[in-house]
A and B are shown apart, each in its own frame.
Chain A
Amino acid sequence: MSLAIDVRGLRFRYGGGSWVLDIPELSLERAQRAFLFGPSGSGKTTLLGVLAGVLEPEEGEVNVLDRDLTSLSGAQRDAFRAEHIGYVFQMFNLIPYLSVLDNIALPVRMNAARRARLDGAGIKETAALLADHLHIGDLLKKRVTELSVGQQQRVAACRALIGAPEIIVADEPTSSLDFDRREAFLELLFAECESAGATLVFVSHDRTLEGMFSRTISLPDVNKAAL
């Protein structure tokens, strides 16, 4: 089975500063649920930026779904991300001036290839179905500012999942939730990833969740640049 992510000899730094990432080797199989942990400042968000093709490494190969992102232009990487990657932030995931529905629909409206993955189903219907799965079906018409933090994170998960991208990247999406809600959120996320066959890269500094994942990666162990 081909790899979802295969990073080799990756080195990254901001401007001319010191190395933030120096990862000789890191790979993830498809449909894995990977738990990537590391203390703050260990380069977690930076690594996700590189994997998503937003940040460009200085050296190395970044193969995502067998495509080397470093060989793509910026616009190609943007299109690749739009089609193949769903992203969930730690908090404030939503665009304040869009409704819940519009927020969920954003990736498929942004990118035609992602839209094509709906297999002819309507954007609205798909969004509503996902929202139902994540138990926020009654919130679609609401303004995002009326939602609780937990509801916001579920909307963000719907947005990451719509159009069934192969890779879901979640950057500490549960750190603003209390413990019970974390587990509930994760279980819903897992169920959706599983049914879509998506690879989940979940980042956290909180190891209490580790047990729920099929694989654990310690960033300080793989990143030689870590302090």
Chain B
Amino acid sequence: MLVLDLALKSLRNRAFSTSLTVGSIALSVALLIGVENVRVGMRESFSNTISQTDLIVGAKGGTIQLLLYSVFGMGSPTNNLSWDTYREWAEHPAVEWTIPYGLGDSHRGFRVIGTNEDFYRYYRYRGGQEIALAQGRAGSEVFDVTLGADVAAELGYGLGDQVAVTHGIGEVGFLNHDEMPFTVVGIIEKTFTPVDRAVYVTLEGIEAIHFGWEDGAPPMPGEEHTHEEVLAMAEIEITQVTSFFVGAVNRRDVLRLQREVNDYEGEPMMAVIPGLALSEMWQGIGYAETGLRVVTIFVVLVGLLGMLVSLYTSLNERRREMAILRAVGAGPKRIVALLVLESVCLSAAGAIAGLALVYVLLSAGQPIVEAQAGLFIPIRPPGLIELLFLGAVVAAGFLMGFVPALKAYRTALHDGLAVRV
């Protein structure tokens, strides 16, 4: 096709301005698609923080608050639930499994979570992945502690190290349970979820460090339980949990189960559906991503405007060329087609180069982002969104091409075969 041949040769002839234009479009398109990828990655990793859990149950309070302290290790729980209540629900016929959580303590800024073997058995994240141990075993004894991957990495802990737990949640607890040292028995494989930033002990362990703290203050001198005394106890009685995760026998029962929990008369408590609560939360913080997207769309527009400027300013130098084309029989429509086609070629080349750039940057940057930000950005073949973006960029290029093209059209009609410079 002659016009396409002309357009390509003309663009090649202006290689420098062509590559600048393509480059700027490519960068802007890469930014657009890159931001989209990061956005999707963020949302996915956020909503996949926990999966396959049907309900999270805790003391009555805010929905988001329950989610924050149970799943994200942020904020403090308002109240605990009694162990008996927990057992009652755990044995509910509609409940298949539960994971109890005892919260409220920390170790050097990392949350300590008291739980039991059900955590390792039932906890799922990112579409059904299980908790796996990188080293050692899951804690099962009173003074066993299992560390999240980040905790172990940041504090430099290994198996067999002694860990002291702080009462309260501050970075530096002023009341240390120094008399109750725990031993690291396992390190959990990295999950890129808040699991990595938590320290897991048994519920018995939580009880043990609080012996003598029943009134909320440290035990009086002489009343402390020693490590040995605790170990000598036949059985430590668990009195309370902070919250628990529920897997229903049948997903259809989840709503009914939630209502039952909320109406429970024994204790003020509530249940949230994590998927709903997470998306509710994401909507709350999601306006930022809309803003980001708007900004990147404008960046693409700026890139295309650069192309427009470059094509438009080249027209004056190309009046002679247009007159020649007219003289050999090109109609004004062909002149328009030539310029629109140049614009389409530039934007298509920019769009494709931008897409390629995204994949180059993603494959180079993915491990770094994953390691530094804990954000896993999946590399996938271009999906509908990407194709939609590319199509929109080319369509915008097509439309913008008419601006210089119509100017050239008018010039061609007016100039005829003379060139007035």
Contacts and interface: CB of A to CB of B under 8 A. Distances in A.
Given A78-B331, A110-B2, A95 B416 contact: no
Contacts of B417: 45, 48-49, 52, 54, 87, 89, 171
A78 B330 contact: yes
A60 B323 CA distance: 25
A96 interface: yes
B325 interface: yes
A222 B328 CA distance: 27
Contacts of A78: 326, 329-332
A75 B324 contact: no
B332 A74 contact: yes
A75 B329 contact: no
B418 interface: yes
Given A52-B417, A54-B417, A97 B9 contact: yes
Which secondary structure dominates chain A's binding surface?
Answer: helix
Interface in B322-358: 323-334
Interface residues of A, number: 33
B328 A97 contact: no
Given A48-B417, A49-B416, A49-B418, A82 B329 contact: yes
B325 A95 contact: yes
Interface in A43-95: 45-46, 48-49, 52, 54-55, 74-75, 78-79, 81-83, 87, 89, 92-95
B331 to A, nearest CB: 4
B328 A96 contact: no
A114 interface: yes
B10 A45 contact: no
Contacts of A102: 9
B320 interface: yes
Contact of A107 (B323, B329, B333): B329
B327 A96 contact: no
A110 B329 contact: yes
A82 B324 CA distance: 12
Contact of B333 (A75, A95, A109): A75
A52 B327 CA distance: 8
A97 B324 contact: no
Interface string A8-35: 0000001000000000000000000000
A111 interface: yes
24 contacts: A14-B414, A45-B417, A52-B417, A78-B326, A78-B330, A78-B332, A79-B329, A79-B331, A81-B327, A81-B329, A82-B329, A82-B330, A83-B329, A92-B320, A96-B321, A97-B12, A97-B13, A97-B14, A98-B6, A98-B9, A110-B329, A110-B334, A111-B329, A171-B417
